[in-house]
Amino acid sequence: MLIFNAFVALSSPQIGDLYIIGNDTFSIDSYPLFEYFEKFPNSELEIFLKRDNFRAISLNRGYIATWKIENDSIFLIDINIKNKEVILKKTFNENYKNNKVFAFWISYNIYVPNGKLIWMDSYTYWKIYEKEICYKFHKGKLRSVNQYVNYIHEGDKIPRGNTEDIQDTIFSQISYNIDLEFVAKDCNFLDYLVTINSNGKISKIRLSPIWDTKWQNYWYSISEKRCRKRIKKSIKQLNFDNLRMYGKPFYEKIYISFYYDKNIKKLIRVH
C-alpha cells in the first residue's frame, strides 16, 4: 500500500533529469546523483555544485544530468556544469570512460511516464501518470522492464485527478445528506482529511490537526467522533475511479473545510 512518498520535498516544480531510452528522451523527477552523494559524500562534483553552480527556483539542485540506458547498463553521459570532464574524472575515477560514467550505484527502479498526468501532490509535486514503464536496476545493470497501469476510468465512477472537483463532490454530498440540525448542535471546527482507498471508496475521515500538541488534537478528535461518523455516513456511497502508484494500491487524502452558517442555515465550504 502506498500513502504517499517522494525523493525530496521541493518548494516549486523542478526540471527533471533527462533519460535517453532507445530513440526517446524523457524528463523525469528521479535524480541518481542524490544517492551517489549520500553514499560517497564530499566528492569533487558535490563540492563544486555546492560552491559554484547557479541554482534557479525550478532547479534547486543546480544542474541537469543526462542518463542513457545502453547495452543493459545505465550511464551518466552529460551534466551542464563548467569543467565537466575534469570534475567527472576526479569524482568517478575509473568509472569515467569514453566521456560517460557507468552508474554502478543505481540499485532501484526508475519509472518513465507513459500516458497523461493524472495526479500531482501540491506540496511535493509528486506525480502519478496513467501508465508507467518500470526499469529495474541493480548496481547499474538493467534487470527487468515492466509496464504498470495506474488509472482506468470505469463506467459511472467519479473521475480522479482534479482535487478541487473531488472536494466539491464530497462537500455537495455532505451538504445534501447530513442533518444540519445535528451539525449545528454537535459539530464545531469542521476541518477534515478524507481518505479515498485503492478501490475508490471513502475509507476514513479524521480531523485535520488544529491544535498545538498531539494530545490536544487527540482529545478533540474523541469529542468530535459522532460528527465524523455522521459525515462518513453521508458520503459512504461515493465511488471514485481506482488510482494506483507504480501499479500498487494508493490511498489519497483529501482536505476539506466547512462550517455551519446559522443565519442562512447552510454549510459553507472554506476554500
The model's pLDDT over 144-175, given as tens digits with 9 standing for 90+, comes to 999 999 998 888 999 998 889 999 999 999 99
| Exposure letters 122-157 (e unless 16+ CB within 10 A, then b) | eebbbbbbbbbbebebeebbbeeeeebebbeeeeee
Helix (H/G/I), strand (E/B), else coil: 25: strand
Would you state the pLDDT for residue 7? 35
Q: Are 90 and 108 in contact (CB under 8 A)?
A: no
Helix (H/G/I), strand (E/B), else coil: 178: coil
Would you state the pLDDT for residue 8? 39
Q: How would you classify the pairing of strands 252-261 and 190-196?
A: antiparallel
Kind and range of the H or E run holding 133: strand 131-138
From the centroid of its chain, how far is CA 55? 23
Would you state the pLDDT for residue 182? 86
Low-confidence residues of the chain: pLDDT under 50:
1-10
Would you state the pLDDT for residue 64? 92
Q: What pTM was estimated for this model as a whole?
A: 0.78
Helix (H/G/I), strand (E/B), else coil: 148: strand
Would you state the pLDDT for residue 187? 78
Q: All 3 cell numbers of residue 98?
A: 569514453
Would you state the pLDDT for residue 9? 41
Q: What is the pLDDT of residues 180-207, one digit of tens each?
A: 888 888 776 678 899 999 889 999 998 7
Helix/strand/coil percentages in the chain, nearest 5: 25, 35, 35
The CA distance from 190 to 149, in Å, is 36
